[in-house]
Structures are given as C-alpha cells and as structure tokens.
Amino acid sequence: MIMWVGKVPSKADRKQEARLQRRKKRKKYRALYLVLAIIAAYYILFQYIPIIWGFLISFKDFKVGGTIMGAEWVGLKNYIDIFRDPDMVRLIRNTLVISCSRLLFTFFPPIFLTIAIFDLKSARFKKLSQTIIYIPHFFSWVVIYGIVYAFFSGNGFINNLLFALTGTRTEFMTSTKAFVPLLVGSQIWKETGWATILYFAALTGVNPELYEAAKIDGAGPIARIKAVTLPAMLPVVTFSLIMAMGNILNNDFEQILLFYNSAVYDVGDIIDTWVYRVGLGKMQYGPGAAVSMLKAVVSLFLILTANYTSKKTTGRGMF
C-alpha cells in the first residue's frame, strides 16, 4: 500500500500562517477595537488623569491662575483641616442617612418589579409595561423636581387635597422630616424601572424548560420564583449590592442640590454639597480634592469588604 505524505510545513510557514490568522482576526474585530479604544480614551482623559491631578492638588495650596506643579506643597494640611471643620460630623451623618435610606428602600423594588413583570402571560402587555417603567429615567432631575414641587408645595395637589379634607396644610418642601422621604420617593419613581434592565437580562438566559419541570413537579408561582427565578437573578443581585455599597458616600448630587434649601440645611447638606460650596464656591481646591480622595479610598474599601463578605457567605463576588 502506497501512502502519500504531504509537505510538512516549516517553522517559517507556521509563523506566516499565524500572522495571517492574527491579521484576519484584527480585521474582523476592527470596529470592536475602535469602540474599545474610544471608551479607553474617555476613561483615561476624564477619569484617571483627573484622579491623578486631584491627588496632587489635595497636598497643595492650588490657586486659580497658577499651575498644579507650581503650587505650594502643604502636605497633610488640607486633610487635617477637613477633620477640624465643625460641620464635618453633620455632613457625614447626613450623607450616611440619605445613602442608607436609599439603599434600603431603592434596592429591592427593582427585584420585585422584575419578577412581577416577568411572570406576565401577555407578551404585548409585558413589553408595554417595560417601556412605561423605563420612561421616568430619561427625565432630568429638574423635571422631576418640578413634578414633586407641583404635588408637594404649599399650593400643590397634595396640600390642596389635605386642606379640603382637614383644613390644614403641610409645608413638605421645607420640612426636615419630609426631606429624605421626598428624595427617596422621587429616586424610586425615577430609577426603579431602569434598574430592572440587568435583572431582565439575567432572566432571559433561563431555560423555559426549568419552569415547565417545576410546574410538572407541582410547584406553584411562589415556589417557581424561589426555585428558578431568584437563583437566576442572584449573580446580578450580588453585583448590584456590591456596587451599591461602594457608592454609599456618593449621593445623587444634582438631585440634592435641587431639592435642598435653607430650611432643610441641617439634614440636606452632605459631603458633595460641601465640596461644591467650598471647592468651587470659595475656590478652596485643596480641601475639596482631599475630601474626594478620602471618599475614593472609603468607597474602594467598602467594595472590597462587600465583595469579600459576599464570596464568604454566598460563594459569589465581582472578582
């Protein structure tokens, strides 16, 4: 029997073939590489470089009109001045109260809403419901504040209704007790629908046969949610919770700046508004940058702690 043996490719031929394959792959994913390059350039220019400059400014007495490198080096003075500020305890307290209230009351509604809509039988009604709940996200906080003001101001709809029923009015917009509930309530209305996108994405990967098998086993709607829906959502829930813990010091500055006023200053003034007032208003860039650096360090610590705790308790984490 005669066997024909083809030419064995040489080492140079194999290298040439590998180069051709890499060239084809680069050409195939050229558009993707371009998008990634644009995103990387954005983060480098507008995220990482400002962090470096902010770190340097936090140790300097930077003045407008001068240069960062030419500014006087003051060491830890800006950090020491922060902790000596008599308002800092109040700022931290208000920041934590608002952030924890948001985390407590805004984290779970998207989960419940996702489950409720996902179990709808009508596909048309399901799509309509998703579209409706996404709309508030695209309203600016200026528009949201206008809506809240129309309802809760002294002559707003709610006060007119209260006056018709009880003969009294309540100044919600200037009440220290109503300030945080108004923030949290408007946040829930604006962002709950948008936050369901990640959870819907997680559920689209669930095999429908799992639900059918659960039905055959006699599982009711609640049992199917526990056995199939919630386990499928758990990785996204874990990711969202870790990210929320990292943002515990980062309140929605635009919302609070619009909602707060002199009457609610004691409960509405937070770290971000202090940075805005001192850093930009008084042009004290050093203390403002120092606060931002401290916030970044604390946020990183919270993310790492939350991730470690999640991996120890559930076996899941971001990294």
Q: Backbone dihedral region of 179: left (phi > 0), alpha (psi from -120 to 50 degrees) or beta?
A: alpha
Q: Which residues contact 183 (CB under 8 A, 6 or more apart)?
A: 98, 101, 102, 255, 256, 259
User: CA–CA separation, 192 vs 172, rounded Å?
Assistant: 23
pLDDT greater at residue 25 or residue 98 = 98
pLDDT above 90: percentage of residues in the chain: 56
| pLDDT at position 21 | 76
pLDDT(3) > 60: no
From the list 27, 179, 211, 28, the residue with the least C-alpha distance to 98 is: 179
pLDDT(193) > 60: yes
Local confidence band at 218 (pLDDT 50, 70, 90 cut-offs): confident
Q: What is the pLDDT of residues 13-41, one digit of tens each?
A: 667 777 777 777 777 778 888 889 999 99
pLDDT(150) > 90: yes
- pLDDT, average across residues 108-120: 92
pLDDT(68) > 70: yes
**Three-state SS for 269?**
coil
The dihedral sign for the CA sequence 198, 200, 202, 205:
negative
The number of CA neighbours under 13 Å toward the Cβ of 303 is 16
- pLDDT, average across residues 184-194: 95
Query: What letter does residue 135 receive in the DSSP assignment?
Result: G
- pLDDT, average across residues 182-210: 92
CATH superfamily of 86-313: MetI-like (1.10.3720.10)
Least confident of 73-77, 234-238, 279-283: 279-283
Local confidence band at 160 (pLDDT 50, 70, 90 cut-offs): very high
- pLDDT, average across residues 148-177: 92
Local confidence band at 7 (pLDDT 50, 70, 90 cut-offs): low
pLDDT(76) > 90: yes
| pLDDT at position 15 | 72
Mean pLDDT of the chain: 89
- pLDDT, average across residues 233-250: 90
- pLDDT, average across residues 112-122: 90
- pLDDT, average across residues 270-298: 91
| pLDDT at position 6 | 52
**Three-state SS for 8?**
coil
pLDDT(188) > 90: yes
Q: Tokens 């709607």 correspond to what residue? A: 221
Local confidence band at 117 (pLDDT 50, 70, 90 cut-offs): very high
Distance from chain centroid for Cα 166: 41
pLDDT(138) > 80: yes
- pLDDT, average across residues 189-201: 94
pLDDT greater at residue 171 or residue 30 = 171
Q: Which residues contact 79 (CB under 8 A, 6 or more apart)?
A: 58, 290, 294
- pLDDT, average across residues 51-55: 91
Do the Cβ atoms of 317 and 308 come closer than 8 Å?
yes
pLDDT(179) > 90: yes
| pLDDT at position 8 | 57
Local confidence band at 1 (pLDDT 50, 70, 90 cut-offs): very low
The token duo for 276 is 């805005």
- pLDDT, average across residues 266-278: 92
**Integer angstrom CA distances of residue 91 from 36, 64, 84, 190, 295:** 39, 26, 13, 25, 13
